[in-house]
Amino acid sequence: MSEDRECRGSGEAQRETQAPELSYLPREPRAYSPGIGLIGCGGIAPYHLGAYAAAGYRVTALCDVDEARATKLRDEHFPGAAVSTDYRTVLDRDDIEVADIAVHPEHRTPITEAAFKAGKHVLSQKPFVVDLDEGEALVALAERLGRKLAVNQNGRWAPHFSYMREAVRRGVVGEVCAAHLSTHWSHDWTADTPFNEVRHLILYDFGIHWFDILGCFFAGRPAKRVRATTAHAPGQRAKPDMLAQATVEYESGQASLVFDGFTTFGACARGIIVGTEGTIACEGPNINEQQVTLWTAEGYARPALDGSWFTTGFHGTMAELLCAIEEEREPFNGARENLNSLALCFAAAASADTGEPEVPGAVRRMPGTE
């Protein structure tokens, strides 16, 4: 995809055109500025806080079982915020309306339930839950209590993915026929972390972003079947398989995901969406640095995009929740819709175990979390 001829099909010369202006950046609430409480100050928390500080959001409390860790993040990002080791003290605060719950999935459900009962809206870290029935119960509880529940699927607002999904939504490429996404990087650093115990680490904790973005590219078209495999790379230190791939069947369409999590040299990430009226692709050395190219009958265009996944993405998930609260509507990253992404992810993991294609929704719990 580094040269135009690679995606032209017939090899004819095409002229460069103006890229369409698409609303790919996060949209801010008009006036709503609630207090936010962050529960869980692990490795991903600095990205949450950095994005919120840059956006001018108000984080008024941080909570973690490790008080020193929470205090350090507080001092770096929101010096005026309170620090606690008990999430209940955060939920009891009247100045907090939104709880950003960033603990691991196995600890998240009771905290989420308590947040709703305390009258808070919730942004849940991904993957949302390990059990679809549990997720449906949380969605039902939020709706019954009139609270908003969004999932931190920050990949939706990674600038390249956001521009591509908006191009699809606006019909720029017509009806999507195929989507093929691949990521080649080293995830072997997880050998020294608790992630080393997550059996389907690549397909689940990492891959959920890609299963989720497929749902955006094929919006309104549920996946019919998925087949996946994983493999242990020679020389990897981590316990989980670092190599994984999945193929997904849709009505009149197909998709594939490739994760080479033990790429020592030549790391890169690529993607291509083929539609009836055009093709849009992305490519770069990593998921933060991506060039998007759009091909249509008029020619090709390369939009200049602002932001990066690890800034704009985390900003986007919270911004969308705040807008949804203000506008009294369901968030675009709402938990009910995210259950479809999890269903596809769970089915892929099950397929990797059984060697057979699986139907999304039939696998109710993430394999390996029993």
Divide the 370 residues of the chain into consecutive groups of 10 and give the mean pLDDT of each group: 45 81 98 98 96 97 98 97 98 98 94 98 97 98 98 98 98 98 98 96 98 97 98 98 98 98 98 98 97 97 96 97 98 98 98 98 94
**H or E element at residue 167:** helix 159-169
**H or E element at residue 285:** none
Rounded distance, CA 290 to CA 160, Å? 6
In angstroms, the Cα distances linking 141 to 110, 128, 279, 359 are 12, 15, 41, 27
SS percent in the chain: helix, strand, coil, step 5:
35, 25, 40
In angstroms, the Cα distances linking 107 to 39, 102, 195, 312, 364 are 11, 10, 15, 27, 19
The two tokens of residue 113 are 């339930």
Q: Cβ(254)–Cβ(248) under 8 Å? A: yes
Rounded distance, CA 296 to CA 279, Å? 7
* 293 beta partners: 281
Cβ-Cβ contacts under 8 Å for 169 (sequence gap 6 or more) = 216, 219
Return the pLDDT at 370.
79
CA-wise closest residue to 63 among 45, 30, 37: 37
> In angstroms, how far is the first alpha carbon of the chain from the final one?
42
Total length of the chain: 370
pTM greater than 0.85: yes
Cis preceding linkage at 357, omega within 30: no
Return the pLDDT at 13.
54
| Sequential DSSP letters for 74-138 | HHHH-TTSEEES-HHHHHT-TT--EEEE-S-HHHHHHHHHHHHHTT-EEEEPSS--SBHHHHHHH
Rounded distance, CA 340 to CA 363, Å? 12
Return the pLDDT at 4.
41
39: left (phi over 0), alpha (psi -120 to 50) or beta: beta
